[in-house]
Each structure stands twice: as C-alpha cells, then as structure tokens.
C-alpha cells in the first residue's frame, strides 16, 4: 500500500519536508509535474542515453542542429513553462538553419523539424503514442520512436519513422539504429 503524505495540497515546501519523503528504490525519483509531486520511473539507462545520442548524431551529421531532453513549449497548446500541457522530448531536431539560443530551455514547435523518443516499457510506448497525437497537433514534421529490446543485451534499437501528412502522422519507414549511418 502506498504511504500517504500528510502535506497541504498547495504552498511552499520546506527542505525538512522534502528530506522527510520516503526513500525510493534505485531507478525511481520524486518528480514535480503540474504542481504535483509524483513518484516516477526514471528510465535513463546506458541504453536509453546512448540510443538517443546515436539517433541525434545521425541528424547532426546531416546538417541539423540537435538537442537532448528538451521542452516542447510556447505554442497555443503548450504554454511555455513546465506545466501540464508541455512535453519533454528525449531529443529534438531543429528546422534547417534554426540556431537555438545558448541558454534556451523551451522551444516553439515551429522551430522543430523532428522529435525523438526512446521507449522500452509498455507504459513508455503508450506515452509515446499519446505524444504522437500532440506533436501532430503542433505541426512537427517528423516523429521517431525508438524501441528497445528488454530481453536482449544488444544496444541497438528499432526506429519507427513517422511523417506528418495533413493533420496526422503516417508511418514512412523503420530500421535499426545501427542502420542509420548507412543511409
């Protein structure tokens, strides 16, 4: 059974209150989302970090500016802060010629050419599909979802490549990440 925290629903928390939170198992973390403190699985494993870097490097080698772990914000749908309607993408690829500011942390969807997500658990796959609909509404041209094999020690991943056609994404290709450098 989950332990209930006896804290007010709103207001500033003290350091003592934060430090009194129950310890969580390795791979989990307390995360502030939409003004709520939630216990979240933090999937930043070696595979996850490496596979996102490999895909972003593919885009960079083709002349695009890239960034990892970036907020998609500042649109009519996502309001430009770290609120409920914003998403953090595992990687973003900027429109040709777009140079993000040195200290930028959120990005207008119109400046994005592609979004990259890496998943390896069923809940992450569902979240990636939910994001697919939102990124289509925001008009981002490409959405790549990388799936990992939890049963294998292989560091490769399978990329499903979606392209915006009208108001929704269509699957336009798929391949292993290791095959990207050959294209």
Domains and their CATH numbers in the chain: 1-42 (no CATH), 46-182 (3.90.1570)
Q: Can you give the pTM of this predicted structure? A: 0.73
Dmax (CA) of the chain: 56
Tens-place pLDDT, residues 7-53: 555 566 677 777 787 787 776 777 665 556 776 666 567 888 889 99
Distance CA 25, CA 71 (A): 27
E strand spans, 4-157: 28-33, 36-41, 66-72, 87-94, 106-107, 112-119, 142-147
Average pLDDT value for residue range 66-90: 64
- For the cut 90, the answer to whether the pLDDT of residue 141 exceeds it is yes
Rg (CA), the chain: 18
- Residue 82 is predicted with a pLDDT of 44
- For the cut 50, the answer to whether the pLDDT of residue 80 exceeds it is no
Distance CA 30, CA 28 (A): 7
Tens-place pLDDT, residues 86-134: 677 889 999 999 999 888 877 888 899 999 998 877 777 777 887 888 8
């Amino acid at each position: 059974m989950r332990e209930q925290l006896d804290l007010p629903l709103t207001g500033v928390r003290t350091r003592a209150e934060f430090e009194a939170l129950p310890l969580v198992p390795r791979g989990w973390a307390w995360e502030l989302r939409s003004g709520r403190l939630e216990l979240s699985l933090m999937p930043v494993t070696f595979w996850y970090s490496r596979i996102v870097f490999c895909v972003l490097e593919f885009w960079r080698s083709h002349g695009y500016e890239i960034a990892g772990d970036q907020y998609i914000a500042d649109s009519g749908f996502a309001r430009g802060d770290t609120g409920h309607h914003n998403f953090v993408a595992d990687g973003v690829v900027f429109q040709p010629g777009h140079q993000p500011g040195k200290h930028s942390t959120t990005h207008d969807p119109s400046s994005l050419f592609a979004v990259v997500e890496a998943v390896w658990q069923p809940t992450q796959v569902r979240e990636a599909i939910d994001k697919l609909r939102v990124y289509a509404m925001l008009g981002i041209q490409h959405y790549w979802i990388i799936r990992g094999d939890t049963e294998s020690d292989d560091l490769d991943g399978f990329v499903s490549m979606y392209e915006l056609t009208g108001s929704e994404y269509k699957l336009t290709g798929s391949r292993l990440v290791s095959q990207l450098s050959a294209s």
